[in-house]
């Protein structure tokens, strides 16, 4: 189907055209890969093999369909829960594991917690932890792209909790004023750690907030790849046509904890979880594929077995990769090290050499 570590490029589509069965099959594969990696990472964290993890289970359809509708030239400004977006973009699994471990293969040189990755090659900007800060970056980048005459869009990703942040307001307001060619992709997963969606805003929907900014706002069922794909395709076409930004609220559910440090049993009910589990986006798309006749249970079994092996192979390779070189600590603070940093680096090197510090 696709090369190891990637999920295959979207089949050519044009606005107005529906997703082909070939697309849907590839999308299902991407969603399954994200699910397999997610489950593996939760285990790795429990085993102490990675320090932390932020799962995305329940949000695979929204992410994959969104990434499918974007062009590979478009810029992604993710939060820390966008694994399936990264996979659709083609980020190799091994590179992601390198980041989770923080080894010498990590493009980020082991500097960030798991999930805060970024890959310039894939136009996937390095994430941070403060919520919402990436929104106005996407707006500024969209303005810059337009200024340079490049017909691309930027897309920022965030959750329901972020709609309460100052940067959400600033970003959407700027985008409205400047008609920036950007897409605000809000995955409303119903919970911001322990706070339910109702505790973020009295607004009936999150997408309704678009009205006040004078921009388009759309609510979609985030477990439905078709609806999400269509909404993002339309938003992208509007942005490219100079008609401004769109706020898309994809309604999903965070099936797992906020992070490996969180225990959702403290604040939500088993009944609520069960109701959403019944709407698992993977089950939904699998059902559709089976009904289409293009997919069979044997294909499904083979897919999941294959993905587990692929993930295990990548993980093993990442775990064999050497640790990050301590001396890289002093790189990339500024383009060149100022004298004080050079001095600290020399001190550090001497302490490593003398055994005062041990890696």
Partner 1 sequence: MTELTLVQAINRGLGEAMRADPDVLVLGEDVGINGGVFRATEGLFKEFGGDRVIDTPLSETGIVGAAIGMALYGLKPIAEIQFLDFIYPAFDQIVSELAKFRFRSGGQYPCHVVIRSPYGGGIKGGLYHSQSSEAYFAHTAGLKVVIPSTPADAKGLLTTAIHDPDPVLFLEPKRIYRAVTGEVPEGENRVPFGEARVARAGDDLTIFAYGAMMPPSLTAAETLAAEGKSVEVIDLRTLVPLDERAVVASVEKTGRAVIVHEAPRFCGFGAELAAILAEKAFFSLKSPVQRVTGYDTPFPYALENLYLPNAERIVHAARASLSAG
Burial class (CB in 10 A: 0-12, 13-18, 19+), 269: exposed
DSSP letter, residue 119 = B
Q: Should residue 143 be labelled a site residue for partner 1 when binding is judged by CB under 8 A?
A: yes
Minimum CB distance to partner 1, residue 296 (Å): 42
3-state DSSP assignment of residue 187: strand
Binding residues among 310-349 for partner 1 as defined by CB under 8 A: 331-335, 338-340
Q: Least Å distance between CB 276 and partner 1? A: 32
- CA dist 144 to 137, 139, 271, Å? 10, 9, 47
Q: Count the residues of the shown chain that bind partner 1, applying the rule CB under 8 A.
A: 49
CB 279 within 8 A of CB 9: no
Q: Based on CB atoms, which residue is closest to partner 1, 81 or 254?
A: 81
DSSP lists the bridge partners of residue 323 as 103
Give 292 or 344: the residue with its C-beta nearer to partner 1: 344
- Euclidean distance between CA atoms 183 and 157, whole angstroms: 9
Burial of 263 (0-12, 13-18, 19+ CB in 10 A): exposed
Q: Does residue 162 bind partner 1 (CB under 8 A)?
A: no
Catalytic hit among 254, 266, 337, 358: 254
Q: Which of 190, 200, 80 is nearest to 131 (CA)?
A: 80
**Binding to partner 1 by residue 75, rule CB under 8 A?**
yes
171 near partner 1, judged by CB under 8 A: yes
The one catalytic residue in 89, 146, 236, 258 is: 258
247 is a site residue for partner 1 (CB under 8 A): no
CB-CB neighbours of 103 under 10 Å: 18
Q: What residues contact 10, with CB distance under 8 A and at least 6 apart?
A: 23, 26, 68, 88
Binding mask 100-139 toward partner 1 (x if CB under 8 A, else -) reads: ------xxxx-xx---x-xxx----xx-xxx--x-xxxxx
Among 114, 140, 244, 257, binds partner 1 (CB under 8 A): 140
How many residues comprise the chain? 359
Q: What is the nearest approach in angstroms of partner 1 to the Cβ of residue 251?
A: 26
Please report whether residue 185 would count as binding partner 1 according to CB under 8 A.
Answer: no
Tell whether residue 154 is a contact of partner 1 (CB under 8 A).
yes
Instruction: Exactly one of 46, 265, 267, 287 is catalytic; name it.
Output: 267
Q: Is 213 a catalytic residue?
A: no
Draw the binding track, 289-308, toward partner 1 (x: CB under 8 A; -: no contact): --------------------
- Helix %, strand %, coil % of the chain (to 5): 50, 10, 40
C-alpha closest to that of 185 among 113, 35, 85, 87: 85
CB of 124 to partner 1, least distance (A): 10
258 is catalytic: yes
To partner 1, the closest distance from the beta carbon of 295 in angstroms equals 38
Q: Report, in Å, the least distance between residue 331 CB and partner 1.
A: 7
Please count the other Cβ atoms lying within 10 Å of the Cβ belonging to residue 62: 34
- Interacting residue ranges for partner 1, rule: CB under 8 A: 75, 77, 106-109, 111-112, 116, 118-120, 125-126, 128-130, 133, 135-145, 147-148, 154, 166-167, 169-171, 173-174, 177-178, 331-335, 338-340
Residue numbers annotated as active site = 254, 258, 267
């Amino acid at each position: 189907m696709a090369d190891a570590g990637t999920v295959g490029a979207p089949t050519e589509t044009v606005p107005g055209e529906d997703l082909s069965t070939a697309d849907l099959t590839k999308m299902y594969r991407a969603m399954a890969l994200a699910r397999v990696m997610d489950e593996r990472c939760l285990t790795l964290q429990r085993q102490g093999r990675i320090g932390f993890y932020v799962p995305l289970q329940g949000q695979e359809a929204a992410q994959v369909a969104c990434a499918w509708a974007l062009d590979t030239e478009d810029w992604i400004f993710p939060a820390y829960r966008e694994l399936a977006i990264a996979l659709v973009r083609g980020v190799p699994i091994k590179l992601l594991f390198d980041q989770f471990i923080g080894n010498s293969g990590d493009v980020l040189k082991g500097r960030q917690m798991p999930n805060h990755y970024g890959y310039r090659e894939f136009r996937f900007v390095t994430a941070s932890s403060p919520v919402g800060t990436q929104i106005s970056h996407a707006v500024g980048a969209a303005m810059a792209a337009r200024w340079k005459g490049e017909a691309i869009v930027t897309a920022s990703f965030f959750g329901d909790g972020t709609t309460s942040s100052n940067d959400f307001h600033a970003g959407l307001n700027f985008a409205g004023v400047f008609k920036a060619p950007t897409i605000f992709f809000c995955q409303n997963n119903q919970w911001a750690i322990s706070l339910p969606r109702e505790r973020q805003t009295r607004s009936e929907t999150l997408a309704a907030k678009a009205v006040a900014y004078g921009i388009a706002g759309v609510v979609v069922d985030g477990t439905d790849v078709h609806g999400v794909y269509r909404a993002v395709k339309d938003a992208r076409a509007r942005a490219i046509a100079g008609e401004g930004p769109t706020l898309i609220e994809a309604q999903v559910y965070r099936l797992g904890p906020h992070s490996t440090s969180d225990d959702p049993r403290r604040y939500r009910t088993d009944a609520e979880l069960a109701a959403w589990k019944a709407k698992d986006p993977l089950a939904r798309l699998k059902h559709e594929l089976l009904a289409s006749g293009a997919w069979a249970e044997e294909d499904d079994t083979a897919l999941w077995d294959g993905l587990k092996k692929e993930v295990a192979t990548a993980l093993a390779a990442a775990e064999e990769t050497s640790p990050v070189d301590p001396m890289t600590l002093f790189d990339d603070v500024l383009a060149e090290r100022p004298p004080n940093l050079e001095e600290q680096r020399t001190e550090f090197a001497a302490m490593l050499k003398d055994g005062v510090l041990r890696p």
